[in-house]
């Protein structure tokens, strides 16, 4: 019983804290459940603390039942990362012109490629996010998602190096804001790289097959 329930409880708590940490970092004005230090505008401290605590909760689960922990982690990560990319694609598909304007603010891509990238990237986010959840091709989808993460990180580092002070554009179109928001997005993307890279070590199975290993589906 201990080998079953303790890992499940630890991993569910870890998942809840990780999601809360990402939300604290991504939407500090909406998801703020603790007082912020005056030195931090976007509450990095609480979001990072929640993320670190979620990682620590994986340790006892892993020690008690490694096999079960790996399966639950893969399911949670695939559902979480896939859903995040699907959600992130929604506003970009709905407003490609606004997203193109936001891309132009980065002053990174050649002008002739901005509109094309504004149309292609949201489709990549939606379909690879959906495929990560529904198809068995976890490694292929993960490589595509890592490529998108790499492009986001490069663009954010570029914006910070030029002191552009713009929003990430990951989940909403708000126009130019502040340099702190670029740091917020960069920290979030670097945190999310860790579980995403881990998916490369997994075998190609559907989530249903992971839950029901003897199924023919």
Quick check: is 69 in a domain? no
Please check whether residues 14 and 121 belong to one and the same domain.
no
> How high is the pLDDT of residue 79?
93
pLDDT at residue number 163: 75
Is the same domain home to 60 and 85? no
Residue 48: both structure tokens together: 């990072």
User: What pLDDT does residue 215 have?
Assistant: 52
82 and 38 co-located in one domain? no
Angle between helices 44-64 and 2-26 (to 10 degrees): 160
Q: Which domain holds residue 18?
A: 1-64
Q: Closest Cα partner for 199 from 91, 68, 74?
A: 74
**Per the domain annotation, does 93 fall within a domain?**
yes
Best CA proximity match to 99, nearest among 80, 119, 123: 119
Count of the separate structural domains present in the chain: 2
Helix (H, G, I), strand (E, B) or coil at 197: helix
Looking at residue 30, its pLDDT comes to 59
Residue 84 and residue 38 in one domain: no
Exposure on the CB side of residue 187, measured as CA atoms within 13 A: 22
Q: Are 37 and 144 members of one domain? A: no
Is 73 within the bounds of a domain?
no
Task: State whether 179 and 204 are in the same domain.
Answer: yes
Pair (111, 198) in one structural domain: yes
- What pLDDT, on the 0 to 100 scale, is given for residue 19? 84
User: What is the rounded distance in angstroms from the CA atom of residue 34 to the CA atom of residue 42?
Assistant: 12
Distance (Å, rounded) from C-alpha 48 to C-alpha 27?
A: 13
Would you say 125 and 92 are in contact if contact means Cβ atoms under 8 Å apart? yes
- What is the C-alpha to C-alpha distance for residues 43 and 55, in angstroms, rounded to an integer? 19
Domain identity same for 99 and 168: yes
pTM: 0.82
**pLDDT at residue 78 in the model:** 94
Give me the pLDDT at residue 39, please: 39
209 in any annotated domain: yes
Residue of 78, 203, 172 whose CA lies nearest to 130:
78
Which pLDDT value is given to residue 40? 46
List of the chain residues with pLDDT < 70: 26-45, 165-180, 211-217
């Amino acid at each position: 019983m201990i080998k079953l329930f303790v890992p499940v409880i630890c991993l569910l708590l870890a998942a809840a804290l990780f999601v809360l940490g990402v939300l604290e970092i991504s939407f500090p004005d909406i998801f703020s459940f603790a007082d912020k230090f005056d030195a931090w505008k976007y509450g990095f401290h609480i979001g990072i603390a929640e993320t670190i605590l979620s990682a620590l909760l994986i340790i006892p689960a892993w020690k008690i039942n490694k096999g079960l922990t790996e399966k639950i982690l893969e399911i949670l990560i695939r559902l979480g990362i896939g859903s995040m990319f699907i959600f992130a694609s929604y506003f970009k598909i709905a407003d490609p012109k606004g997203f193109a304007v936001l891309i132009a603010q980065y002053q990174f891509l050649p002008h002739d490629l901005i509109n094309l990238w504004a149309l292609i990237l949201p489709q990549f986010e939606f379909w690879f996010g959906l495929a990560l959840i529904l198809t068995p091709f976890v490694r292929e989808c993960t490589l595509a998602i890592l490529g998108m993460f790499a492009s986001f990180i490069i663009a954010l580092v570029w914006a910070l190096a030029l002191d552009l002070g713009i929003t990430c554009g990951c989940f909403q179109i708000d126009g130019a804001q502040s340099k702190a928001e670029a740091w917020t997005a960069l920290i979030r993307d670097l945190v999310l790289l860790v579980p995403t890279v881990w998916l490369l070590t997994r075998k190609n199975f559907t989530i249903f097959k992971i839950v029901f290993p003897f199924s023919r589906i």
